[in-house]
Amino acid sequence: MEIIIAKHAGFCFGVRRAVDMAEKALEGGRRVYCLGSLIHNQQVIEKLEQRGLVTVKDPAEVPVGSLFLVRSHGIDPNIVKDIIAQNGEILDATCPFVRRAQMVAEKFHNDGFDVVICGDPEHAEVIGINAWASNSAKIIHDANEVSSMKFKGTVGILSQTTQKVELLQDIVAELLKKTKHLVIENTICLDSSTKQAEVSALAKEVDIVLVIGGRNSSNTGKLVQLSEAQKTPTKHIETASELQLEWFAGVKKVGIAAGASTAQFLIDEVVDKVESLC
């Protein structure tokens, strides 16, 4: 049986940078606080937490004067200001591509545009980006929502970095029916679009696709959707322990893709287990 691994499977630049920053900060022996998951991969977070990373759900849980690491998805700038006001030390692991989206949202808002974010309103990155636009943005996750919305003046649209470009295109097409003044900033990151194109191509040439990544990972979820769209049997797993022998009955080629937060050791473990099973 042949195993084909997507060329860009696993850690993207932004996640690699955030994990490196966390590991370096933890070398000093201090506890490092992070609001929400630094990255969307539980196995990697558990390893960092064993070394002293503390993931909190509320800024009030961050002790005064702490070392605080801003997650790769970015956060509300007012939270950072509050932590600095409490003598906190900030390490900013916001991915530079997310930072760009934050800056676009802030500029659109400061220019008086009606700000639209193409993305999941529940996703931490989108919540953070909206905060940079003073929480004024309309967040759209389905192009059909546009028809019932009202817009005024110039509309500025940007995207969650891991969204599918097709969704951005669909929303833009609907917005054009509503306004003649539309400014578009495509803030989808290159890593996301590369991984998405790869998984679509991979799904066409294999009998089953294994997509490795956190179940809370937006970009991993997109890879699963795109593989399934090719009508190829697709399994979303977090670790090798979830693999089942019956998935591989009659399978000649296995494709492996992995989300941007998936560490190499998790990919290696899946490859080893597939080889041993088959």
In whole angstroms, the minimum distance from the beta carbon of 80 to ligand SF4 comes to: 18
**Sites for ligand SF4 among residues 143-172 (CB under 6 A):** 161-162
In whole angstroms, the minimum distance from the beta carbon of 150 to ligand SF4 comes to: 31
Bridge partners (DSSP) listed for residue 4: 255
**Looking at beta carbons only, is 224 or 274 nearer to ligand SF4?**
224
**219 interacts with ligand SF4 by CB under 6 A:** yes
Position among 33, 70, 93, 97 found at the interface with ligand SF4 (CB under 6 A): 97
Alpha helices in the chain (DSSP H): 13-27, 42-50, 77-85, 96-110, 124-132, 165-175, 190-205, 218-229, 264-277
The owner of tokens 């599918």 is: 164
In whole angstroms, the minimum distance from the beta carbon of 261 to ligand SF4 comes to: 8
Question: DSSP string covering 18-76, please?
Answer: HHHHHHHHHHTT--EEEES-SSS-HHHHHHHHHTTEEEESSGGGSPTT-EEEE-TT---
**14 interacts with ligand SF4 by CB under 6 A:** yes
**Looking at beta carbons only, is 189 or 254 nearer to ligand SF4?**
189
Furthest C-alpha separation in the chain = 61
Q: Is 125 labeled as catalytic in the residue annotation?
A: yes
Position among 62, 75, 98, 117 found at the interface with ligand SF4 (CB under 6 A): 98
- Residue 207 CB: number of other CB atoms within 10 A? 17
> From CA 142, how far away is CA 120, in angstroms rounded?
9
Cα three-residue angle 134-99-226, rounded to 5 degrees = 105
In whole angstroms, the minimum distance from the beta carbon of 2 to ligand SF4 comes to: 28
- Catalytic position from the list 89, 122, 125, 269: 125
**102 interacts with ligand SF4 by CB under 6 A:** no
Position among 13, 106, 193, 248 found at the interface with ligand SF4 (CB under 6 A): 13
Residue 167 backbone phi and psi in degrees, to 5: -70, -45
Angle between helices 124-132 and 77-85 (to 10 degrees): 80
Position among 33, 59, 74, 191 found at the interface with ligand SF4 (CB under 6 A): 191
**Sites for ligand SF4 among residues 229-268 (CB under 6 A):** 260
> From CA 241, how far away is CA 255, in angstroms rounded?
17
**Looking at beta carbons only, is 15 or 258 nearer to ligand SF4?**
15
In whole angstroms, the minimum distance from the beta carbon of 195 to ligand SF4 comes to: 8
Write out the residues near ligand SF4 by the rule CB under 6 A.
12-15, 72, 95, 97-98, 161-162, 189, 191-192, 219, 260
Catalytic residue numbers, as ranges = 125
